[in-house]
Structure 1
């Protein structure tokens, strides 16, 4: 297996664990969440997600529960503990740091793909400006 493929599988595994850390999900919901998280830039195939989910169940990092949902286990949480945010009350400073991170992300994104979402982004900017102006 090439190094690139191995790295991609590691990323998918970590994303699945992170998504399941937030709440139990079905495989199709995990695929949809990754698509949303990456703003439509990556939608993993069922052929890569479902075999990985089965392997992760065998390893004990997730478990299958009712309604065909998967849930992270304490072993899975331990595996991604360095990726998890510190639980704290969200502050304005946290939100500003998130916005600054998003601004940097947008600088790195392919402009043609970014333009597909221009109206939604501009709407968010206008809403934030309105809150600040009226605050």
Structure 2
């Protein structure tokens, strides 16, 4: 628990949790403790902040993909991420911030993709109550795609 308190103090010095700098460090630290998927990382961060903050799928999943590309972490077959040896070497608590990107069709579709990744990581019982809504969204997306070729 003292490790968590130490992490909390270091993150507090960042002033905010936004930007990949602090978030990247937090993810590296957490994956150094145990393998996790994106939803588990988000749940743990929410729990560690006592419910005061929860990262969005649009923050976590692009970051995880970027960290895999940078060979800081690897994604196992079970969907959980683990710290790679390069990740252990690069753990630091004060990273760089990334500018917010403007919204475009491409960015919106990327956000959709990130949210889908999050939903795929959730346990089925959390998604099942929204099965009808999910079906309506799928129908609308299908109509949109088909309208592109008319």
Normalising by structure 2, report the TM-score. 0.49
Q: 1:22 aligns with which of 33, 41, 59?
A: 33
Specify the alignment match of 1:117 in structure 2: none
Structure 1: runs of 5 or more not aligned: 84-135
CA gap 1:23/1:34 in 2 versus in 1, 3 angstroms: same
Taking the aligned partners of 1:74 and 1:63, their CA distance within structure 2 comes to 10
Using the TM superposition, give the Cα deviation of residue 9 of structure 1 relative to its aligned residue in structure 2, in angstroms: 1.5
Q: Deviations over 1:37-61 (max 9, x none)?
A: 1111110000110011000000000
Task: Select the structure that is richer in helix.
Answer: 1
Using the TM superposition, give the Cα deviation of residue 80 of structure 1 relative to its aligned residue in structure 2, in angstroms: 1.2
Specify the alignment match of 1:36 in structure 2: 47
1:76 aligns with 2:87: yes
Using the TM superposition, give the Cα deviation of residue 8 of structure 1 relative to its aligned residue in structure 2, in angstroms: 2.7
SS in 2 for 1:68: coil
Using the TM superposition, give the Cα deviation of residue 66 of structure 1 relative to its aligned residue in structure 2, in angstroms: 2.1
Q: Deviations over 1:96-132 (max 9, x none)?
A: xxxxxxxxxxxxxxxxxxxxxxxxxxxxxxxxxxxxx
Give matches, 1:50-129, under 5 Å: 50-80=61-91
SS in 2 for 1:47: helix
Structure 2: runs of 5 or more not aligned: 1-14, 95-150
When the two structures are aligned, how many residues end up with a matched partner? 80
Query: Which of structure 1's runs of 4+ aligned residues deviate more than 6 A?
Result: 4-7
SS in 2 for 1:63: strand
Taking the aligned partners of 1:82 and 1:11, their CA distance within structure 2 comes to 7
Specify the alignment match of 2:145 in structure 1: none
Give the structure, 1 or 2, with the largest relative contact order (CA under 8 Å, sep 6 or more): 2
CA RMSD, aligned part only? 2.4
